[in-house]
Structure 1
């Protein structure tokens, strides 16, 4: 362990302690402070902040996440920054409702309960935890790649309690997802670490809900839908799901059943590369056709980064404040 230093976050006035051997983001997680973040690997810029005072050094990061000129001006990525003195940091993106509601991450041993194909390239992985793993609906954990020091992030597809369920897309060369093609079996041991993420349903009964997902981004959105169905809600709720072809659609019967328990719900799947009985086009184009003014709505997104970027632009153009658009940005790792 290295020396410890105080980190003060402005404009919220929250202070934490950070060891030199851990990143500022990890120090915040450890103390239950839920900062905005995404990949945790210096790839996505979600945790970009401004250093007001103090001495820090950053691990390697992508200049797509933090350009050289931004670094020279004083911007830092908290997932890469190590404190070598007391720091004062100005948060650029933060959610006051979430900041002090974090659950400190923990490592938990789990056992594979099931590996089931959902489509030609999406697999449902179910894990039985050996110890309690508290989390909030919509959050994610990191799963350790067996026999390595690498971790990969995946959202839980169900509300807390019981087994952990994930919907994972298999990528060629995927360090973890590649194991879902026959290498991982029931009874195998896996270690998970978490929870992380801020894609947690806010208490806003007077606002409409837009749920938007593509591909394996179904997982945290399905978790939200399952949670809403369990508790009931009178909020207008629309679930838009983007896929390439009809064979990429899955869990349609369950989504339909969940919808019957909500007062005002519609599920709108869309196909971008195939004609058929569903909406046609990119999912953002479909949302644009169906939705008007969204100034009184919240949105929860999960999917490929281009989809999320396009959705952010569309939703804000329709009047939705950006601070009411919730998502966790992931990057795709295909290291062999």
Structure 2
């Protein structure tokens, strides 16, 4: 059965099948509702049930406490409609709501697996069916681990202009269910299933604000996608990109970032090493990347921020950015669960 779901205070109505979650129905119809893990773990899609009857799949009480459930709060990624519903969105971005792209399933073929550092690999996929996948710079897809129903979320590093190709930067984890495949189990020509696009770490269509970006590890991926996209449009916006790594050997794509600096006159790239090796000869910034940003910046009130990296980095960065004058609504990042293996979660 299909039911009507009205979303307030934006006045949007959509159809939801009983077999799909409300969030999945929104994705299917190209509505960009706030979301993160899509697994009932992060609370990004928390909303309030105004009227109607729904049921929820299992979720974490860290995302939705029992007392909140009793008050009427729900997680859209876990909610199934059993009548027409009226739901109040708690977190939403009017600028993004109607800029969504319908989520699609796709089959892709491995074109390349390259070593970038001792623990970061570049995975390039060529789309087979369909031959292309529309997405926005900064978004991610879910890749299915072959032979299972399990997925891992990874952000694209390329831009939508790269027709039919998806590029990912993936951190290797000992025993990682997906990342371990890149150590020899996955080869050029192998095929993978994926679904997307997802994610809110995209440029806001109506904004021309200056940008501050903060990344670490494989979190380079969505930020590089944004930078490449800005270069394609010859953007004149000021961009401060702070990137954290442990030692000099953990830095990569420095030549491309230098080239992007020439194509984007407003770009300042600041790499920071938290534990430079004795032989690094490093004369740049040292310390945690959030502390480096704190030392460099005074007033960021005219900026908006884009973050991607380990959850502790995100947690440390948000209060720093707010303290520099950025409203929390202008701090953009995607929330991932630990099982996302950092391809985008800690990327």
TM-score range, shorter chain: over 0.9
Deviation at 1:236?
A: 1.2
Deviation at 1:198, TM superposition (A): 1.5
The equivalent position to 1:28 in structure 2, one of 26, 29, 34, is 26
Shift of 1:20: 1.2
Q: Is the 2:122–2:169 Cα contact (8 Å) retained in structure 1?
A: yes
Match of 1:67 in 2: 65
How many pairs does the alignment contain? Answer: 333
Aligned partners of 2:96 and 2:204 also within 8 Å: no
Q: Residues of 1 paired with 2:70 and 2:59: CA distance?
A: 14
Equivalent residue for 2:314? 308
Among 302, 323, 326, the residue aligned to 1:320: 326
- Distance in 1 of aligned mates of 2:34 and 2:2: 23
The answer to whether the 8 A contact 1:305-1:331 is kept is no
Structure 1: which 5+ runs fail to align? none
TM-score with structure 2 length normalisation? 0.92
- The Cα of 1:204 is off from its aligned counterpart by 5.7
Q: CA deviation at 1:222?
A: 0.3
1:125 maps to: 123
Contact preservation (8 Å) 2:152, 2:340: no
TM-aligned CA distance change 1:263 to 1:203, over 3 Å: farther
- 1:62-91 Cα deviation digits (max 9, x unpaired): 122112222222111111111111111111
Distance (Å, rounded) in 2 between the aligned partners of 1:43 and 1:177: 22
- Tell me, what secondary structure is at the counterpart of 1:226? helix
- Aligned with 1:333: secondary structure? helix
Q: Distance in 1 between matches of 2:50 and 2:172?
A: 42
Counterpart of 1:150 in structure 2 is 150
- Contact preservation (8 Å) 1:143, 1:152: yes
Deviation at 1:277, TM superposition (A): 2.3
* 2:93 is the counterpart of 1:87: no
Deviation digits for residues 243-296 of structure 1 (CA, Å, limit 9, x no counterpart):
122222111111111111112221111112236322111111111111111110
* Pair 70,105 (structure 1): closer, same or farther in 2 beyond 3 Å: same
Contact 1:56 1:84 in 2 (8 A): yes
Query: Which residue pairs with 1:188 in the alignment?
Result: 190
CA distance in 1, matches of 2:173, 2:54: 36
Q: Residue 42 of structure 1: CA displacement?
A: 1.1
Partner of 1:271: 273
How far is the alpha carbon of 1:213 from its aligned partner?
0.8
